[in-house]
Amino acid sequence: MASLDDLKKRIASVKSTQKITKAMKMVAAAKLRRAQESAEKGRPYSEKMNNVILNLSNGISDKENAPKLLSGTGQEKTHLCVVMTSDRGLCGGFNSNIIKKAKSYFAKILDEGKELKIITVGSKGNDQLKRVYGDKIIENISFKESKNANYFDANKVGQMVIEKFEAGEFDVCTIFYNQFKNVITQIPQAQQIIPLNNDGQESSSEESYEFEPDEDEILSNLLPKNISTQIFKAMLENSASEQGSRMSAMDNATRNAGEMVDKLTIEYNRSRQAAITKELIEIISGAESL
Amino acid sequence: MSEEFKVEIVNPEKSFLVKDDVSEVVVPAFEGEMGILKDHISIISFLKPGIIKILSKSGDENYYVEDGIVEFKNNNLSILTSTIFNLADMDKSKQQDLLKQAEEEANKTDINDQSKYLADQKVEVLKTLN
């Protein structure tokens, strides 16, 4: 059995850990509210954008010559995966969930004999992926300096993806991120952004539009913007998920630490009492033998 | 019958402006300025750098945009843009900053014709503001 002193030290250390996790939980809760707000505020933009593109792609006259960002390069040989994770740890299963989803997708692609390229956004994902897929990672971006997800950063990633696409470096692009459902649930998502996957989405209106200039030109102007928008949306969802995940992880940690303190305190009291009893027995039996 | 319709401006961060008593909106469409009144035909177009004028009973408003898409449908005008500033809030130094940025961009040699054109537009618009 551990000595009284050891137990005392352990109790103190668990208590200070609990203080940290409690503080982190509170910070995460405050940040979550802000992140959630901006995720909700950002939704109309990406929804509207999606809608316009749907209307456009339905109205496009010449399907054969549609912009490549919409229709693809006609083959599916090289896949680019943009894996979006956080820059900080201590957020429960947030990063591992994305990585797990991404890894199973990678395995599928490699099994099919296709080429794989990876861009990681956020340092945690890079840390986890470079062990296994180190040679596949072509780019690693991290936005440690920017406090909140902003469109400027998303645009940088978007530009990079488009440049690589235009240089013919890949055929299909998929982004991985966590969709924020609520504080406890975040759903890892794999979303294909190039070529644009519109299956199962019906245009909201049958009304025909007038286009100025023509559809093709608007589309070729709009599609690159849409890439950035989708990435921005993913970033917003991700930051809300990260805070939510951290909050529940820290809540659990605080509770566990509390339980541990209780258990250790009982053990401490017991062994203290045992020592007292032992001493008493020694004194009494000593007195008796006289 | 009222001659008013609804306009909504969204940027990636939030819904920037919603107004439903608008009588006319002038947008800098790619092929020239375009005035939109109630019951305009459904249209999709995109913007070049310029000034959006919103005319309503409660007063006129002017916004500077660098890019964007306009969609008009069922008397709903949606404007999606990534860069927008209310001219009333924009002071001289901000204007100068933007102008400087735009000029730098326009003077780059390694850009293609379209971005060159857009940058020139920016410079032109910003100059007229001063």
Domain boundaries, chain A: 4-21+250-289, 39-249
Give the integer Cα–Cα distance in Å for A176 and A197.
15
**Mean pLDDT of successive 10-residue stretches along chain A, which has 290 residues:** 86 95 94 89 84 75 68 82 89 90 92 90 89 88 79 87 88 91 88 73 61 77 85 90 92 95 95 94 92
In the prediction, which pLDDT does A1 show?
A: 57
Active site residues of A: 91
Q: What is the mean pLDDT of residues B47-60?
A: 87
Q: Are B106 and B119 in contact (CB under 8 A)?
A: yes
Least confident window among A43-47, B93-97, B126-130 = B126-130
CATH superfamily, domain B5-86, is: F0F1 ATP synthase delta/epsilon subunit, N-terminal (2.60.15.10)
- Predicted confidence at residue A266, as pLDDT, reads 95
**Chain B: closest CA distance from residue A6 (Å):** 53
Question: Which of B8, B15, B39, B46 to mutate: most A Cβ within 10 Å?
Answer: B46
The reply to whether residue A211 touches residue B71, judged by beta carbons under 8 angstroms, is: no
Predicted-complex ipTM score: 0.77
Contacts of B71 in chain A (CB under 8 A): 48, 51-52, 209
The span from the CA of A203 to the CA of A198, in Å, is 10
Judge whether A103 and A187 are in contact, CB under 8 Å: no
**So where are chain B's domains?**
5-86, 91-129
Across chain B, mean pLDDT equals 84
**Superfamily of structural domain A4-21+250-289:** ATP synthase, gamma subunit, helix hairpin domain (1.10.287.80)
Q: Residue A150: list chain B partners with CB under 8 A.
A: 13
Domain with residues A39-249, CATH architecture:
3-Layer(aba) Sandwich (3.40)
Do the Cβ atoms of A150 and B82 come within 8 Å?
no
Pairing of strands B50-56, B15-29: antiparallel
Show residues of chain B in contact with A216, CB under 8 Å: none
Q: How far apart are CA A235 and CA A49, in angstroms?
A: 17
Is it true that A4-21+250-289 and A39-249 share their CATH fold? no
Residue B130's pLDDT is what?
64
Q: How far is CA A250 from CA A19, A180, B73, in A?
A: 11, 18, 48
Say what the pTM is. Answer: 0.84
Beta strand B5-10 with A210-212 is: unpaired
Cis peptide before B28 (omega within 30 of 0): no
> Of B10, B30, B42, which is closest to A209 when you measure between CB atoms?
B42
- The verdict on A43 touching B (C-beta cutoff 8 Å) is no
Q: Given CB atoms, is A147 within the 8 Å cutoff of chain B?
A: no
Contact A188, A101 (CB under 8 A): yes
Pick from B12, B41, B46: CB nearest A229? B12
Q: Decide if B12 and A205 are in contact by the 8 Å CB cutoff.
A: no
The chain A residue lying nearest B16, using CA atoms, is A41
Could B13 and A38 be called an inter-chain contact, meaning their C-beta atoms sit closer than 8 Å? yes
